[in-house]
A and B are shown apart, each in its own frame.
Chain A
């Protein structure tokens, strides 16, 4: 993974992944009304004193939302940044609730897939144990 960390982002691969899910994801992103009703369905949000960074809507808008807004043209540092959002701040328990039917876990999973396609994913070895994933 060290080599992957130094490599530049394969934008074509990122764009392909985003394009494969574009219709569904664009629909979800446009349907989010920022109502915040998803917030209290997230146990991490509740366990972190309702820190808004743990709101499911915040997590998707600031990861996958930005990926689509930038049309996949992102730096590796951005993927490293959203790694914390889509792994450490979300365990993909699939319990988040959206009143208009936005499938938040699928969006988080796609953001993770984009990261994985560039070799950005959590370590669970010595290095990984130094930072908490929960």
Chain B
């Protein structure tokens, strides 16, 4: 799931400038589940904006509407009718959702209300941890299900570096376990320690371009 958190209110207010009226567009997908941008959070943001403008002697006309997903055109029918009534949309979706809305309404400023953090999992209510950098070259099958790209401070494909502490933590932060130390432990438990000696080709991190995935059965349909 994509994890995000709300930007500071001052930053959202600064982005808005003189734009008024405004629609706060909630998302019923990932940001709803991580308690950052669902209907409740969108309504809270609208209330905070109203109060902030009121405290400064101004008035912001702000309404909210929440659709099921901001990254899919099928859910925009109601917003297509509403969008023309506003000078800006403040989206509480992830970065992908914001861009989708911006592409759909190119004449309208579409502003992000959230900072999109990572792909991760729920540790508990309101507690999320990063586990995947969506690098597009998954090695979890060889690393005991522990992602070195995400969990190694240096994103090493062939670790560990020389900075593992004696207690198995990372030299960058003593509160973080060394990913490769953890991988070693996990592979040993599984009796697959030989995998750690496998050398993986260096990943090309530079000059990355926007990625697109079209599944094999659909290539013909899209002429790709």
Q: A112-B68, A125-B126 are in contact. Are A20 and B32 (CB under 8 A)?
A: no
CA distance A113 to B65 in the complex (A): 9
Which A residues are in CB contact (< 8 Å) with B69? 92
If over half of B's interface residues share one DSSP class (helix, strand or loop), that class is named, otherwise mixed; here it is: mixed
Which A residues are in CB contact (< 8 Å) with B39? 116, 121
Contact with A along B1-45 (1 / 0, CB 8 A): 000000000000000000000000000100011110011100000
Partner of B66, one of A21, A92, A116, A125: A116
CA distance A122 to B35 in the complex (A): 11
Contact with A along B37-81 (1 / 0, CB 8 A): 011100000000000000000000000001111001011011001
Sorting the interface of chain A by its residue count into under 10, 10 to 19, 20 to 34 or 35 or more gives: 10 to 19
CA distance A109 to B68 in the complex (A): 7
CA distance A124 to B28 in the complex (A): 11
CA distance A125 to B44 in the complex (A): 15
Sorting the interface of chain B by its residue count into under 10, 10 to 19, 20 to 34 or 35 or more gives: 20 to 34
A100: interface (CB < 8 Å):
no
B74 touches A124 (CB 8 A): no
A94 touches B74 (CB 8 A): yes
Q: Which residue of B lies closest to A121 (CB)?
A: B39
Contact with B along A102-134 (1 / 0, CB 8 A): 000110010011001000011111100100000
B125: interface (CB < 8 Å):
yes
Which B residues are in CB contact (< 8 Å) with A94? 72, 74
Q: What would 18 A/B residue contacts be, using CB atoms closer than 8 Å?
A: A17-B78, A20-B78, A20-B81, A92-B68, A92-B69, A94-B74, A109-B67, A109-B68, A109-B74, A109-B75, A112-B68, A113-B67, A113-B78, A116-B39, A121-B66, A124-B34, A124-B35, A125-B35
Closest 5 A-B residue pairs measured CB to CB?
A: A124-B33, A109-B68, A121-B39, A129-B125, A109-B75
Residues in chain B within 8 A of chain A (CB atoms) = 28, 32-35, 38-40, 66-69, 72, 74-75, 77-78, 81, 125-126
